[in-house]
Structure formats: C-alpha cells, structure tokens
C-alpha cells in the first residue's frame, strides 16, 4: 500500500505539511495518493542513521550484503502487478515497458549481488619488495541517489546507482523523483523489507519525498554525505555538482546527463540501404516517445542526392508513427519549447512532423535538417531536445564532417553506419568520435544499453561529470570506493579480504 510517507531508515515518517500528488499523463488525471515532502529534520535523521549504519555495513562480509541485495530483487518481484500498475499510472508508459524495465532492475540487483559474493571486486593487491603493502578498495560512506523521470525503476530508487552503492558497502539515501513517487515508495518498501529480513543496520536505506529542489540540495550539502549519484538533465546534474564542489569538503558527484548521440552515415550506406536505415531510425527516434538518454538526436552525412532522399524518407516515416503521451506535462512543455527554439532558427528546415490531432501530453515527432555551416556556427542547434526529435546535418565534405564531430560536446554514444568497402577509410571518423563519446555503436542504433561487464554508459562532460566511470554494468561499483593501503600490518588487524 502507498502511504505517501518518507522512509527514514526502517521507519515511515510524515512530519511535514507540504504535500504533492503524481499525475497520470495518459488521461491527464491526478493520481490519488498524497505524498509528504521530507522536512529538514527528517533529512537530518536519515543522514544521521546512514552515517551510523555505515560503520556496521562497510565491514560486513560481501556474502551478507549480497544476500541483502538479492533479497531486494525478490521483494520487488513480490510486489507483482501493484508495482506495474503504479508505474504505468505515474509514467503513462505501457505494460510491456514496465515489465521489461522491472526485469532489467532485478537483473542489475542480482548481478551486483553475484559480484560481491567473493571479494575479487576489491582488486586486492600485495607488494612485498621493501615493505609489505596490501591494497584493496573500500567504500566511501553514505551516498545520495537522484533518479531520472524516464526510468522509474532501472535508474531510480533501486536502480543501478543504488544497487552498486549498496554492493560497495555504502548506505543509500534516495531523493525520490516527484513524477513517480508511488513507484518509488513501493520499491523503497521492498528494500526496507529486505533490510529487515537480512539483518541490515537501520539507516542502510532511506527514501525521501520531494517535489522541489530543497531536499536534494540539503542532502548534497550535508557533510556526512560522501558521494552523489545522479541521472537526469544537464541543468540538474550541474547544479548538484556545483553544490558538492562548494562544500568545505568537496565530494564526487557522478552525474549521468543528457546527450544527442551523433550518428554518422556514409555515402555507401545511404546508397545501399538508405531506405532501410530511414525506417530503423524512425523507430529508434520515436522509441519510448524519444525519452531515452541514448536517443539519436543528431544524424550527420555528406551532401548528396542520396542524403536528400534519406532526409525526406526519414521525415515521412517518422511523421507517420503513432503519437504517444510523454511522461509528464512539464516534459511535454520542455519538448515543445526546445524543439521550437531549434526549428525557429533561420537556418533550420522542418522536414516533417506528425500532424494528426493528439491528446494532451502527447508528443508530435519532428525531423529537421540544417547545413554543416549552420550547425558549426549556431550552438542552439547542439542542445538536447528530449523527445521524438532528430536533426540531420548535411556537410559539405569529409573535412567539415570531422570538424563537426570535433566541436560536439561530450556524448554518451556515437554511431557509425557504413559499408565494408569503406572500413579502411573510417579511421579518422572513429578517432574523432572516440574523443567525444563513451561508446561507439557500429551499424546499429544507440537506443538500448545492455547491462554487461564491458558496457560504458558515460562519456566526456556533459554526458557525465566524470568520464572515467560507467553508470551501467558491474564496473559502476568503482564510483563508490577508494583505494586503501595497509603497510606492514599485523595479520590479526587486516580485514578478511586481505589476509
């Protein structure tokens, strides 16, 4: 049952008077549950508990924390259809997506549980040439997690940030996303149940409601908080990063933010399978109403008859795909505002847009095109339009194409669409793109982020605030730890994992 209260450790609490509700964007109706915004006192209590819990949690054998994390997955699964229906009512996303995202969330939790069953992940190292020095990775301390609106499960309350931080031995305080507060509370209840069942210290997890920025800001500024995980907009991530940097003791903020995910399409690819690519990309651009951080928002090619046909084809195919509702009226408003800002630049041509009349909160997909010169000169054209929107840039030649790649901001992904006979000539594109992105996809689409060991989900700023790390896959645990060395330590004082 959804209570609308905060979880301060294992205790439900609603000391405040500020309340809010979520909205079903599909029928534009407010959902019933009322949520109580966390007060300053409740925030303080949650951090105090996390700080205390850290001392016990950090020293537990990995197998015990693994049991806790695996039990979280079981408890989320046990929420059954209640979770799925709440997810759908707060996001407007369809049942298939809800179930798919739940599967991904459970898979991530179980992957981290598996990882820490043994202590290899700590990378234990012994050097004995002069002095005996033993090194291993140890947790940082309490972590605050902010989830994004577009992944109410996989990048939210028990998403990758929470799973990896708990695996590392860090207590977690979640700043609940206001657009899916009910989904967040249900997942939080599963985490608390798992913590109680497996004997975890009170405060290992808290879930704080908030419909504004104050709760998050107080959390990031609290000196007992030692790191932050954020998934969301560049504006939000940057604001929190700046708060963390201005503290007396600055702390790391691992913010995964927006991206326009450039796609490079070669002449031969256009000639041989331009029509097929147009369909594949119309589907990718509109997948999940374009509300993916890996949405292909920028397609770059060199001017030709084939590129002109591709642009027309892509526009036609995208415009005919059924419209669907966005996550929230504010996301829809931002989509319209940012899309129109790009379309209203004098150099931009609107190729096609979905024109059928749509219901409130439904997005109409759009494809625009500009010249390479215009794109290079106008930074407004480089911004993320979060939704079913993409821009095709028509370059003069290969030199301009490389110049454009070099001038892009940091991105999560880059994609190359090319034919085998062109492979020997792609080195300069690969090299330029590698400098701007965290992952290059070859002959595919950027949407879809596999949760596997070799995944890099991150990239140069502003795709993320620290391009040395990934937010997806088991390497994500490295964000919450630091290397620590024991020099000439007596055996009995060493932790088990270094004996």
Among 231, 369, 411, 456, binds ligand NAP (CB under 6 A): 231
Query: 397: how many CB neighbours lie within 10 A of its CB?
Result: 11
Rg, C-alpha atoms of the chain? 24
What is the x/- site pattern for ligand NAP, positions 173-202, by CB under 6 A? --x-xx------------------------
* Contact positions with ligand NAP (CB under 6 A) in 434-493: 457, 471
Would you count residue 149 as binding ligand NAP (CB under 6 A)? yes
Which of these segments, 93-101, 119-127, 145-153, 392-400, binds ligand NAP (CB under 6 A)? 145-153
Q: What is the Cα–Cα distance from 251 to 54, expressed in whole angstroms?
A: 17
Give the count of residues interacting with ligand NAP (CB under 6 A): 30
State which H helix or E strand residue 371 sits in. strand 366-371
Among 13, 91, 156, 210, binds ligand NAP (CB under 6 A): 210
Q: What is the Cα–Cα distance from 347 to 372, expressed in whole angstroms?
A: 10
State which H helix or E strand residue 441 sits in. strand 437-442
* Six token digits for residue 356: 């059928």
Ramachandran quadrant class, 340 (left: phi over 0; alpha: psi -120 to 50; beta: rest): alpha
Would you count residue 29 as binding ligand NAP (CB under 6 A)? no
* Six token digits for residue 138: 């140890």
Nearer to ligand NAP, 167 or 244 (CB): 244
Would you count residue 122 as binding ligand NAP (CB under 6 A)? no
Q: What is the Cα–Cα distance from 108 to 91, expressed in whole angstroms?
A: 21
* Contact positions with ligand NAP (CB under 6 A) in 286-345: 293
Q: What is the Cα–Cα distance from 326 to 123, expressed in whole angstroms?
A: 43
Which of these segments, 16-24, 68-76, 170-178, 338-346, binds ligand NAP (CB under 6 A)? 170-178
Which of these segments, 67-75, 184-192, 232-240, 435-443, binds ligand NAP (CB under 6 A)? 232-240
Nearer to ligand NAP, 239 or 418 (CB): 239
* Six token digits for residue 13: 């609490």
Q: How far is the CB of 330 from ligand NAP (least distance, A)?
A: 8
Among 148, 227, 385, 445, binds ligand NAP (CB under 6 A): 148
Which of these segments, 9-17, 227-235, 348-356, 367-375, binds ligand NAP (CB under 6 A)? 227-235
Would you count residue 241 as binding ligand NAP (CB under 6 A)? no
Distances (CA, A) of 374 to 36, 381, 382, 467, 486: 48, 9, 11, 29, 57
The beta-strand segments (E) located in 5-146 are 6-8, 11-13, 19-20, 23-24, 29-30, 35-36, 125-127, 133-139, 143-146
* Six token digits for residue 10: 């294992």
Which of these segments, 120-128, 141-149, 196-204, 491-499, binds ligand NAP (CB under 6 A)? 141-149
Q: How far is the CB of 386 from ligand NAP (least distance, A)?
A: 5
β-strand pairing of 366-371 with 389-395: parallel
Would you count residue 258 as binding ligand NAP (CB under 6 A)? yes
Q: Which of 170, 293, 325, 395 is catalytic?
A: 293
Is 422 designated active site? no
Nearer to ligand NAP, 108 or 210 (CB): 210
Is 293 designated active site? yes
Contact 492, 444 (CB under 8 A): no
Which of these segments, 150-158, 304-312, 374-382, 389-397, binds ligand NAP (CB under 6 A)? 150-158
Q: Which of 42, 90, 185, 256 is catalytic?
A: 256
The three-state secondary structure class of 22 is coil
Among 33, 62, 182, 216, binds ligand NAP (CB under 6 A): 216
Would you count residue 155 as binding ligand NAP (CB under 6 A)? yes
Q: What is the Cα–Cα distance from 243 to 228, expressed in whole angstroms?
A: 11
β-strand pairing of 411-417 with 262-265: parallel
Q: How far is the CB of 325 from ligand NAP (least distance, A)?
A: 15
Closest CA to 87 of 145, 152, 142, 31: 152
Q: In what order do the strands lie in the sheet with 481-487?
A: 125-127, 133-139, 481-487
Q: How far is the CB of 457 from ligand NAP (least distance, A)?
A: 6
Nearer to ligand NAP, 112 or 155 (CB): 155
Would you count residue 284 as binding ligand NAP (CB under 6 A)? no
Q: How far is the CB of 136 from ligand NAP (least distance, A)?
A: 29
> Distance from CA of residue 319 to its chain's centroid?
27
Residues belonging to the active site? 256, 293
The residues of the shown chain that bind ligand NAP, judged by CB under 6 A, are 146, 148-151, 155, 175, 177-178, 210-213, 216-217, 231-233, 236, 239-240, 256-258, 293, 384, 386, 412, 457, 471
């Amino acid at each position: 049952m959804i209570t609308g209260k905060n979880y301060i450790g294992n205790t439900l609490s609603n000391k405040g008077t500020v309340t809010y509700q979520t909205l079903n964007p599909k029928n534009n109706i407010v959902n019933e549950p009322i949520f109580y915004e966390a007060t300053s006192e409740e925030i303080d209590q949650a951090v105090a508990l996390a700080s205390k819990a850290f001392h016990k949690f950090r020293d537990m054998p990995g197998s015990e924390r693994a049991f806790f994390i695996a039990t979280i997955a079981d408890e989320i699964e046990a929420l059954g259809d209640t979770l799925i229906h709440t997810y759908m009512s707060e996001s407007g996303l369809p049942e298939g997506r809800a179930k798919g995202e739940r599967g991904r969330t459970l898979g991530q939790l179980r992957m981290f549980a598996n990882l820490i069953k043994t202590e290899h992940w700590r990378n234990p190292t012994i050097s004995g040439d002069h002095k005996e020095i033993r090194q291993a990775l140890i947790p940082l301390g309490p972590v605050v997690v902010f989830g994004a609106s577009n992944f109410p499960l996989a990048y939210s309350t028990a998403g990758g940030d929470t799973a990896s931080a708990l695996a590392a031995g860090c207590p977690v305080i979640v700043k609940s996303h206001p657009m899916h507060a009910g989904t967040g509370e249900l997942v939080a209840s599963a985490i608390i149940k798992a913590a109680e069942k497996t004997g975890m210290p009170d405060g290992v997890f808290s879930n704080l409601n908030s419909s504004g920025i104050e709760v998050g800001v107080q959390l990031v500024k609290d000196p007992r908080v030692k790191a932050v995980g954020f998934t969301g907009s560049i504006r939000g991530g940057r604001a929190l990063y700046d708060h963390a940097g201005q503290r007396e003791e600055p702390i790391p903020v691992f913010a995964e933010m927006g991206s326009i995910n450039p796609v490079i399409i070669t002449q031969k690819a256009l000639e041989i399978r331009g029509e097929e690519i147009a369909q594949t990309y119309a589907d990718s651009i509109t997948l999940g109403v374009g509300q993916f951080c890996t949405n292909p928002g920028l397609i770059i090619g060199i001017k030709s008859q084939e590129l002109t046909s591709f642009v027309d084809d892509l526009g036609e195919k995208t415009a005919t795909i059924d419209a669907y509702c966005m996550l929230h009226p504010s996301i829809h408003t931002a989509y319209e505002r940012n899309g129109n800002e790009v379309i209203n630049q004098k150099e931009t041509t609107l190729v096609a847009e979905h024109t059928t009349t749509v219901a409130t909160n439904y997005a109409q997909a759009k494809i625009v095109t500009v010249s390479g010169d215009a794109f290079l000169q106008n930074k407004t054209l480089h911004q993320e339009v979060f939704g079913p929107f993409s821009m095709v840039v028509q370059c003069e030649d290969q030199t301009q194409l490389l110049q454009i790649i070099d001038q892009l901001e940091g991105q999560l992904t880059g994609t190359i669409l090319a034919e085998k006979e062109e492979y020997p000539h792609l080195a300069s594109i690969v090299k330029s793109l590698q400098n701007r992105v965290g992952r290059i996809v070859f002959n595919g689409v950027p949407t879809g982020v596999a949760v596997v060991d070799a995944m890099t989900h991150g990239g140069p700023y502003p795709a993320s605030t620290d391009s040395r790390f990934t937010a997806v896959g088991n390497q994500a645990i490295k964000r919450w730890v630091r290397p620590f060395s024991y020099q000439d330590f007596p055996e009995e004082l060493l932790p088990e994992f270094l004996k």
